[in-house]
Structure 1
Amino acid sequence: MRLGILSVIVASALVAVSLWASPQTAHAATDRISGSDRYATSVAVSKLAFPNGTDTVYLVSGVNYPDALSAGPAAVASGAAMLLTAPTALPAVVAAELQRLAPERIIVVGGAATISNSVENVARGLAATVERQSGTDRYATSLAVVRAAFESASTVYVATGADYPDALAAGPAASSAHAPIVLVPGRANDLDSATRDLLVDLGATRAVIVGGAGVVSTGIESRLRTMLGTGSTTRLAGADRLATAIAINRASFATVPRGDAYVVTGFNYPDALSVGVLAGMRARPLYLSVPYCVTSQLRAQLTGATVSRVRLVGGVGAVRGMVGDLVGCLSITDPASPWVLVNKRTPLRPATYTPALADPGVASAWGDPVQKDAAWAVRSMFAAASAAGLGQLTLQSGYRSYASQSSIFNRDVAARGRAAAERLTARPGYSEHQTGFAIDISANGCMECIGGTAQGRWLAQNAWRYGFILRYESGQTHITGYDHEPWHFRYVGTTLAEDYREGGFRSLEAYLGRPAAPSY
């Protein structure tokens, strides 16, 4: 290619992901619970949890998390299933599951703005009793759900209602302790009177706060200690959402027998909402993960003495296969990492970065080196193409310095105009070629026509075997910001390249769960 493209950005929790070496160590068995979408995944979980049906089902929104966060432990306490629904229409797959479960009662959680009256009306045709549990806001709805499900509770889990990760991770822990999750406006300086009244009415003697002081304030913590007594209140928190989930599970499941551990993406909520009920019923931990790899801390938990099977929840779009393989995380911001993301929104840092380079030892138009760890892969791939009877491939372009990229970009702007040039060539400091991991390939003296050749088809089908992905595919300009370039391949390593292919991904942005970058 002639672009640049991969940098990083992993929101705060992802930024800290550390490098880890070999993913090939033996670990617990792995399987996946999933459906074609969040609603079908919800049904898949329900079938595992309630093979013989159930008397009660909680119906929660699949596109809005707050009202559903307290519903998971409430459902476990009530022996009930929990299914996700779209706001204005009951998905057919969910309706079929309700018919299979044959409940006597359906509880619709949240107001009509969250789950419409039309969904409630459909539910009335599927159960003898349908009731709605809601309040004036997410906090009042949480209190209504808890009051309806718990006549008493010695322990109460307290979580912010302004975000979902901590409450999701705490759901199975709370359920296994027969405790509710109560949502609070975490940044308030004090516990609100309605929540204080609930704790009194429940007879609570212990509170577990999930999340750090930045999400549930020290003022709320102080009020809980005053209400419940010295030693009554525990805070479970980590450096980020993934570490907080680990802290919750260590405190709750450290001594359980060997069994399942459920793993969901830590950066969306539907699948975790669904499986939280199953995990809570079975008193098993629910871990949050980076979508495409595992941190060293999470890997330590999943290879521990209490885990015999890792159950990924959701499709590969939510949790990649590498998570199940316990592949450790490499940086997507470090330009020396083969996973580095460089695109129009994430420039190289520093912009003038120079990699460790090596001569790949292949036919080359200009004698360009490539990043030293990728050199063997280029050589191996070109040799394999030759062995397959495809003749000689040529390295048209490899590493480019900041100065070289500036020259090429300015030349293309002069020749094509800025708009057209920026669909073909990266600005200096934004180019994958500056990492040394990107290569442009020509065959029979032609780079831009390679896509229609046998060599181009072979590369598209086989480059993954050598650690490369086709970086700019047809139809992905709205994500990558660049026109289709069948000649531009990017080295990411064989493990990621294989997972990328198996998952059917078409852009590195989508694989890494990062925003589209169509423009600077």
Structure 2
Amino acid sequence: MYRGISALIVAALLLSSLWASPQPAQAAVAYDRISGADRYATSVAVSKLAFPKRAATVYLASGVNFADALSAGPAAVAAGGSMLLTTPKAIPAVVAAELKRLAPDRIVIVGGTGAVSDAVAKAARSYAPTVVRQSGVDRYETGRAVVRAAFTTAPTVYIATGADYPDALAAVPAAGAKRAPLLLVPGRSSKLDAATQTLLRDLGTANAVIVGGTGVVSSGIEKGIAALLGAGSTKRLSGSDRVGTSIAINAAAFGAAPRGDAYVATGYNYPDALAVGVLAGMRARPLYLSVPYCVPAPLRTQLTGATVSRVRLVGGVGAVRGLVGKLVGCLSITNPASGWVLVNKRTPLRPSTFTPTLADPRVPSAWGDPMQKDAAYALRTMFAAASAAGVGSMSLQSGYRSYATQASIFSRDVEQNGRAAAERLTARPGYSEHQTGFAADISANGCMECIGGTPQGRWLVANAWRYGFILRYESGQTGKTGYSPEPWHYRYVGTVLARDYHEGGFHSLEDYFGVPAAPGY
């Protein structure tokens, strides 16, 4: 950010030699998106694909918690039924319309009245002659109740922690495709609980597939299952993280599947993956979990493999970005040399005195500031395009700043405006995008603070993304970015991300990367 740097003299900088910074890897694979206006509408969109005519059974589970719906997913597949999400106190209108279309004979309410109220159960009777509730005193007892009702026998079961959702989400289609139940256990317990032991005996289970590492389902539980079922009866599928675990689950369940669809949902929230699990299980297709804004390299390998002909993103752009469908590889959001680096009041530069590889952008400039070399070239190209469009003169008011320069600016603003006001206007040293060399404060006709109302400012808003820049501090975003609106502050993120940011209608990098707001230090 920049305000009134004219009192400072910026020392001349020796430009570093140019270097090729990494660009996100991309692959051409067909993709589409299954989504609705919210989690409930997305569950309806999935239901319509799974059941174009009607469904005899519908499972109705809370959309504001994950546990009950996890065990219900494979149960719904086994019953040949759909699963829809509801609010705890009322059936959303879009879900009610889908229930009417499906015309089920039976609706299964999953969970106790705290999860899905009696009011929802009463309303459900308008859509099916039979409405039953399957529940218990907690998520584990509810899961066992769902499994007992759906499965009289189960040679194989999947076991997942009920304390978190990622591993179980990926396991739902795998279990569903094998017509196997998914049992939730208190994963950090040191031993297998008695109720689960009894259920495994009653189901005649011979084999158990544990999903997730020992940090989520303990080795004590694994030993208890092995002691109950016999040597060689247990298999553990896990990876180094939630994405890796989903890959391991799908490789085991669908590694020999014919070429077809792969479903991809964010691994950092649960509603969309809950919704699509039944469809993926019915069709015996994998559900992968991804980072919301890019595809990690191991997942990209899977999605470009021989078994995938189409990627089906699940959820809107707020859940999973278009770059995931395009199989764009990930760049670091913590490495200060990365064009995707996120710098805000909660995520400082590391190291705080980082110096980028710099180049002269060769544009009209107040102080001759350099920029990071890719950003410098992009800024020159953007200025040339603006000039060709005849919008009027622009100049670079501030580009790269060293730690020392940022410290001087911040101290001056504190002295002039007070600390509270200064922190809405200027970053502390070590927390400034300008230190990365990716930020450009742009003036129009010699005026920076008035650029927003000029033809140049309007042109930038409409076109900067084409050259890899985003308007970083928009009006109305102070609660997320921590700074007052700055219509002059443009941030280089590269053309791949900038286009997706623009097309997705995002207004802060915090929202785009799916990280917490940073209103303060």
- Indicate the TM-score class for this superposition, using the shorter chain for normalisation: over 0.9
**CA–CA separation in structure 1 for the residues paired with 2:276 and 2:207:** 26
Q: Per-residue displacement from partner, 1:106-141 (whole Å, max 9, x unpaired)?
A: 000000100111111110111101111000000000
**Structure 2 residue identity aligned to 1:49:** A
Tell me the CA shift for residue 176 of structure 1: 1.0
**CA–CA separation in structure 2 for the residues paired with 1:442 and 1:299:** 41
Alignment RMSD (CA, Å): 1.0
Tell me the CA shift for residue 374 of structure 1: 1.0
**CA–CA separation in structure 1 for the residues paired with 2:36 and 2:27:** 29
Structure 2 residue 492 is matched with structure 1 residue 491: yes
**Structure 1 residue identity aligned to 2:44:** V
Tell me the CA shift for residue 22 of structure 1: 5.1
**CA–CA separation in structure 2 for the residues paired with 1:287 and 1:375:** 38
Preserved CA contact (<8 Å) 2:27 2:328 = no
Tell me the CA shift for residue 21 of structure 1: 4.7
Q: 1:24 to 1:327 in 2, by over 3 A?
A: closer
**CA–CA separation in structure 1 for the residues paired with 2:88 and 2:425:** 42
**CA–CA separation in structure 2 for the residues paired with 1:2 and 1:312:** 40
Residues 422-461 of structure 1: pairs in structure 2 closer than 5 A: 422-461=423-462
Preserved CA contact (<8 Å) 1:188 1:217 = yes
**Structure 2 residue identity aligned to 1:117:** D
Preserved CA contact (<8 Å) 1:23 1:325 = no
Preserved CA contact (<8 Å) 1:20 1:296 = no
2:397 alignment counterpart: 396
Tell me the CA shift for residue 229 of structure 1: 1.2
Residues 230-379 of structure 1: pairs in structure 2 closer than 5 A: 230-379=231-380
Higher RCO by CA contacts (8 Å cutoff, separation 6 or greater): 1
Q: Structure 1: state its 5+ residue gaps.
A: 4-18
Structure 2 residue 102 is matched with structure 1 residue 110: no
Preserved CA contact (<8 Å) 1:392 1:443 = yes
Preserved CA contact (<8 Å) 1:54 1:81 = yes
1:130 alignment counterpart: 131
1:475 alignment counterpart: 476
Tell me the CA shift for residue 227 of structure 1: 1.1
1:81 alignment counterpart: 82
2:217 alignment counterpart: 216
Residues 153-164 of structure 1: pairs in structure 2 closer than 5 A: 153-164=154-165
2:189 alignment counterpart: 188
**Structure 2 residue identity aligned to 1:93:** V
**Structure 2 residue identity aligned to 1:153:** A
Tell me the CA shift for residue 392 of structure 1: 2.3
**Structure 1 residue identity aligned to 2:27:** T
Preserved CA contact (<8 Å) 1:207 1:233 = yes
Q: 1:480 to 1:22 in 2, by over 3 A?
A: closer
Higher mean Cα deviation, 207-216 or 391-400?
391-400
**CA–CA separation in structure 2 for the residues paired with 1:128 and 1:298:** 44
Secondary structure of the 1:167 match is helix
Secondary structure of the 1:458 match is helix
Secondary structure of the 1:70 match is helix
Preserved CA contact (<8 Å) 1:20 1:328 = no
Q: Structure 1 residue runs of 4+, over 3 Å off?
A: 19-25
Preserved CA contact (<8 Å) 1:291 1:320 = yes
Higher mean Cα deviation, 410-419 or 75-84?
410-419
Secondary structure of the 2:190 match is coil
Secondary structure of the 1:487 match is strand
Tell me the CA shift for residue 364 of structure 1: 0.5
**CA–CA separation in structure 2 for the residues paired with 1:64 and 1:324:** 27
2:2 alignment counterpart: 2
Tell me the CA shift for residue 20 of structure 1: 7.2
Preserved CA contact (<8 Å) 1:266 1:289 = yes
Tell me the CA shift for residue 2 of structure 1: 2.8
**CA–CA separation in structure 2 for the residues paired with 1:287 and 1:2:** 43
2:170 alignment counterpart: 169
**Structure 2 residue identity aligned to 1:188:** S
Tell me the CA shift for residue 23 of structure 1: 3.4
**Structure 2 residue identity aligned to 1:187:** R
Residues 495-514 of structure 1: pairs in structure 2 closer than 5 A: 495-514=496-515
Tell me the CA shift for residue 24 of structure 1: 4.0
TM-score by length of 1: 0.96
Identical counterparts, % of pairs: 74
Tell me the CA shift for residue 436 of structure 1: 0.3
**Structure 1 residue identity aligned to 2:251:** R
**Structure 2 residue identity aligned to 1:232:** S
**CA–CA separation in structure 1 for the residues paired with 2:373 and 2:243:** 33
Tell me the CA shift for residue 25 of structure 1: 3.3
Secondary structure of the 1:90 match is coil
Preserved CA contact (<8 Å) 2:57 2:82 = yes
1:13 alignment counterpart: none
